[in-house]
Structure 1
Amino acid sequence: MSERRPGRLGVGVVGAGRVGAVLGSALRAAGHAVVGVSAISEASRERAAALLPGVPVIEVAQVVERAELVLLTVPDDALAPLVDGIAQVGGWQPGQIVVHTSGRQGVAVLAPALRSGAIPLAIHPAMSFTGTSLDLARLEGTTFAVTAPAAVLPIGQALVVEVGGEPVVVDEAARPLYDAALAHGADHLVTLVAQVAQALEAAGVERPGRMLAPLLSAALDGATRAADTRVEGEGPGAIAALGGAVPRGDAQTLRAHVDALAAFAAGSGATDAPTSYADLARASVRRGLAAHRLDAPAARALLDALAANGGPGVDTPPDR
């Protein structure tokens, strides 16, 4: 490991994927020296060349040996074997900062490094990466989940601030729920947009993405702003941004949607679209009821409409 300089660390990047190359570049821009990067695939090597020019592409063992801060940016299922494998060959060093970027895992996975005297940090940026220089600007203001032993938590928070992010402490036990929540939002949003685009194409819209962009951007902006408010008994108040048939209590429109999507599914084979619509509409009704945006009779009428044409059964909401 190189001699440490005040305020400046030798950073080693293990895995020049979309996340690793970008974060390595961001740390370099913050004044740290990237001393090595491992890159297996041709795409990773090209990414390293573009975002970390001049940084030697070397073996993992060499990266770990040279670095004061080791950034592990590998897939979740590869993380534990990697950390354990480095420990088995005596690679981890006392005082070395070891950071992984898995959303699901906290610092327990870094236990083999900790036993060698390393400083374990779990730092996850809550954003999607393209693996290009465009991501560097997007890091500014991005929230990073930081998990670490209390004594070294400030180190993780400082690293996040250095790359322009906003650190938020997430407990070790809460990491799986945190990761599931982000995946439910981001991954399933992509699936939802795919369903909607297919339905719009069937309705004769040639460029569904262009039609959806302003609508969904406005809806997302409203929902995320409302999510920072609180609804008594319900937590974040994102449901306050809900528009359309549900908050109006318009059961007739909801039933028309059910009928139209059922016909679309029959003709296209996209049977997931009406099911998703019904599931999400039922969730909207229940949350609208809990947030007092709907009364019980209106909620019951909406749920009955969603069960039309042999649709899935629904729970009757309690009277209020």
Structure 2
Amino acid sequence: MPIDPYAAELPPSARDGRLGVGVISAGKVGAVLGAALRNAGHQVVGVHAVSEASRDRAESLLPEVPVLEVPEILRRAELILLAVPDDALAEVVSGAAEAGHFQVGQLVIHTSGRYGTGVLAPAEEAGAIGLAIHPAMTFTGMSLDLQRLSACAFAVTAAEEVLPVAQALAVEMGGEPVVVAEEHRGAYHAALAHASNHLNTITAQSAQILEEIGVTDPSRVLGPLMQASLDNALASGPSALTGPISRGDTGTLRGHLQTLQAGGFPEDILIAYRALAQATAQRALEQGTINEAKAAELLEVLAEDSQPPAGP
């Protein structure tokens, strides 16, 4: 069923190729993307929602859409949006295929960053068309996510002949499609997890240090600094690196380590600081902000007593 790649530029009523969409399930991602497809003019014919939170989310973002069991959604819909957890995806697909629920020509999209279309092989063997479309965004499951989609990249993976369909659907949902090859999905997802999840960890660790020394609102201290650092890193790449390591300031680095070791802070903070400082030193050397001798000196300091202090 063809989809016009330029359809998102037209009002919904004027677009061709409108589809009946089934959403499985109404988690934060599924409900938002289902609403985005509905805003693009597609008809959401059913949503699967088990928990009370999912049902509330479906009622809020997909009002008047019936809550149905999975087999009924697969029977009714031309486009299936699988927004289930990564670890459950393969089982959901294989189970539905074994039960004979997929239809020839049915579009089956999953939203997992981890997988390409290989995980959809059982559905494709039944005649469905598999597409992997992952929005590179953190979702709240609220309507404000729909506005954020306009600044969001969507990783799309699909067979060459249907790749334009995946790209068009990403555009219709408000995002920008970025093609990621099947064999690169693992690296793609690792990059996003490293950037997003570990940023959260670093933020929490830094806030904890500030709280423990009496700073009552760490976000006011960290917010402007971290936002500026992120903006600079995205705009200028590795050349945006600043701080004691990029300056080769061995004394400051040793002082940080001593403070984190002696200050009674959680061990995970010191472990993370060491690991990231080592990586930063290597990148500073590659950028030429420090020479090999200074890099070796910094790495030696980081290796000193590298085991965190034992607990009481």
CA distance in 2, matches of 1:306, 1:203: 24
Task: For residue 83 of structure 1, report the CA deviation from its aligned partner.
Answer: 0.8
Q: Please, which of 175, 195, 199 is the counterpart of residue 205 of structure 2?
A: 195
Deviations 1:289-311 (Å, cap 9, x if unpaired)?
11222111221222233234x23
Deviations 1:227-268 (Å, cap 9, x if unpaired)?
xxxxxxxxxxx321111101111111111111111112xx24
Identical amino acids, percent of aligned pairs: 57
Residue aligning to 2:269? 273
Count of residue pairs brought into register by the alignment:
293
The 8 Å contact of residues 122 and 146 in structure 1, kept in 2 or not, is answered as: yes
CA distance in 1, matches of 2:144, 2:242: 33
Asked if 1:289 corresponds to 2:285, the answer is yes
TM, length-normalised to structure 2: 0.91
Residue aligning to 2:246? 247
The 8 Å contact of residues 252 and 305 in structure 1, kept in 2 or not, is answered as: no
CA distance in 2, matches of 1:201, 1:38: 42
Task: For residue 132 of structure 1, report the CA deviation from its aligned partner.
Answer: 0.3
CA distance in 2, matches of 1:19, 1:130: 8
Residue aligning to 1:66? 76
Q: Please, which of 85, 89, 99 is the counterpart of residue 79 of structure 1?
A: 89
Residue aligning to 2:170? 160
Asked if 1:311 corresponds to 2:272, the answer is no
Q: Counterpart amino acid of 1:23? A: L
Q: Which structure is richer in relative contact order (CA contacts within 8 A, separation 6 or more)? A: 2
The 8 Å contact of residues 35 and 67 in structure 1, kept in 2 or not, is answered as: yes
TM, length-normalised to structure 1: 0.89
CA distance in 2, matches of 1:291, 1:243: 11
Deviations 1:128-176 (Å, cap 9, x if unpaired)?
0000001000000211111101000000000001111111111111111
In structure 2, stretches of 5+ residues that fail to align are: 1-14, 308-312
In structure 1, stretches of 5+ residues that fail to align are: 227-237, 313-320
Residue aligning to 2:227? 217
Residue aligning to 1:49? 59
Residue aligning to 2:261? 262
CA distance in 2, matches of 1:6, 1:165: 19
CA distance in 2, matches of 1:241, 1:20: 36
The 8 Å contact of residues 239 and 284 in structure 1, kept in 2 or not, is answered as: no
Deviations 1:183-211 (Å, cap 9, x if unpaired)?
11111111111111111112221111221
Please show how residues 5-154 of structure 1 align to structure 2 within 5 Å.
6-154=16-164
